[in-house]
């Protein structure tokens, strides 16, 4: 499999790559969705993005650009919307664990090939203030070692002395580790696994399932879309903002909730609390 980092799927797939990362340069979709290079300001970002508690983002700024590339590459190759990348801030920057859960719910249920940047599955943070290393500039803090084992030297990454490491590990007392989150039933690690599992079980939620926006109004929340193929139909609803949101969609009548918490669905009326997501199995 050939994977490019062009952030221009139309050109990359036409050039012979199988997958292209749609990220923070070139095309604008990812930046409007996640805001990986913007400035965190309280519960919002500058510029505003869809995945912020302030709820000032615009899903159309992501979707219109994304659909242009999705339509051009469908059946020929895949778009990847990664959780992170070595060239921009980790998704945990300016977000708590609840916000990460909602973000991952979308990234892992979109068409194409999802990529999980190491450490994002446990919520590793950017470590600010590290010195530049061989041209890393501001990016040093998102390239620190994987955090495996709580209480072990260098969090289980290496038995070498801390001073001899290429980059330091997170020294915070609450630095997340795989060992700790493996023990916790409701950890971000297990949540990530729960989101990945349906892609394997249901082909409609996988790489090739069809994608159709159901509710994507400019400047409005939530974002609701359908994934489908001959095996079944699913709907995903995403509300990253802090406000309760309500939407009426006929397609949701009789739907069965697969994943999500505190969601209220009565008939075709969906009520979503702040910072929430839902994955539904739709009636055929």
CA separation for the pair 85, 115 (Å, rounded)? 9
| Residue of 229, 196, 225, 193 lying closest to 210 (CA atoms) | 229
The beta strand positions in the chain, using DSSP E, are 3-4, 19-21, 39-41, 44-46, 78-80, 210-215, 223-229, 232-239, 245-248, 256-260, 264-266, 269-272, 276-281
CA separation for the pair 121, 144 (Å, rounded)? 15
* Residue-range domain boundaries for the chain: 3-117+202-281
CA separation for the pair 22, 265 (Å, rounded)? 33
The beta strand positions in 139-255, using DSSP E, are 210-215, 223-229, 232-239, 245-248
CA separation for the pair 133, 143 (Å, rounded)? 10
pLDDT tens-digit map of 13-65: 999 999 999 999 999 999 999 998 888 999 999 999 999 999 999 999 999 99
User: What local confidence, expressed as pLDDT, does residue 284 receive?
Assistant: 82
CA separation for the pair 81, 222 (Å, rounded)? 19
| Residue of 118, 43, 134 lying closest to 85 (CA atoms) | 118
Q: Record the tokens describing residue 123, joined without a space.
A: 């919520």
pLDDT tens-digit map of 221-235: 999 999 999 999 999
User: What local confidence, expressed as pLDDT, does residue 37 receive?
Assistant: 85
How many CB atoms are located within 10 Å of the residue 42 CB?
9
- Measured over the CA atoms of residue 62, residue 66, residue 211 and residue 280, the dihedral's sign is negative
Topology, domain 3-117+202-281: Immunoglobulin-like (2.60.40)
Residues of the chain where predicted confidence (pLDDT) is lower than 50: none
User: What local confidence, expressed as pLDDT, does residue 38 receive?
Assistant: 85
Beta bridge partners of residue 257, listed in sequence order: 280
Please, are residues 237 and 224 in contact by the beta-carbon 8 Å criterion?
yes
Residues contacting 215, CB < 8 A, separation 6+: 222, 223, 224, 247, 249
The pTM score is 0.97
> Helix 188-201 vs helix 97-107: angle between axes, to the nearest 10 degrees?
10
């Amino acid at each position: 499999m050939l994977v490019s980092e062009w952030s221009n799927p139309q050109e990359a797939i036409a050039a012979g790559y199988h997958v292209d990362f749609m990220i923070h340069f070139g095309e604008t979709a990812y930046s409007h969705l996640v805001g990986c290079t913007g400035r965190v300001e309280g519960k919002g970002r500058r510029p505003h993005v869809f995945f912020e508690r302030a709820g000032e983002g615009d899903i159309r700024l992501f979707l219109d650009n994304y659909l242009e590339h999705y339509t051009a590459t469908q059946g020929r190759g895949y778009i990847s919307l990664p959780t992170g990348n070595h060239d921009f801030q980790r998704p945990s920057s300016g977000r708590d664990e609840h916000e990460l859960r909602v973000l991952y719910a979308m990234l892992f249920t979109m068409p194409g090939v999802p990529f999980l940047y190491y450490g994002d599955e446990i919520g590793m943070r950017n470590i600010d203030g590290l010195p530049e290393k061989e041209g890393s500039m501001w990016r040093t803090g998102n390239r620190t070692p994987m955090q495996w084992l709580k209480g072990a030297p260098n969090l289980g990454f290496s038995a070498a002395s801390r001073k001899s490491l290429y980059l330091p590990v997170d020294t915070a007392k609450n630095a997340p580790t795989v060992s700790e989150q493996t023990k916790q039933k409701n950890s971000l690690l297990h949540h990530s696994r729960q989101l990945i599992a349906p892609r394997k079980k249901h082909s409609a939620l996988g790489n090739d399932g069809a994608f159709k926006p159901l509710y994507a109004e400019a400047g409005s929340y939530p974002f609701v879309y359908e994934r489908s193929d001959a095996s079944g139909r699913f709907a995903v609803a995403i509300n990253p903002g802090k406000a309760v949101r309500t939407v009426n969609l006929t397609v949701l009548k009789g739907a069965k909730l697969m994943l999500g918490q505190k969601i209220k669905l009565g008939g075709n009326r969906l009520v979503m609390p702040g910072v929430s997501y839902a994955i539904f199995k739709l009636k055929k």
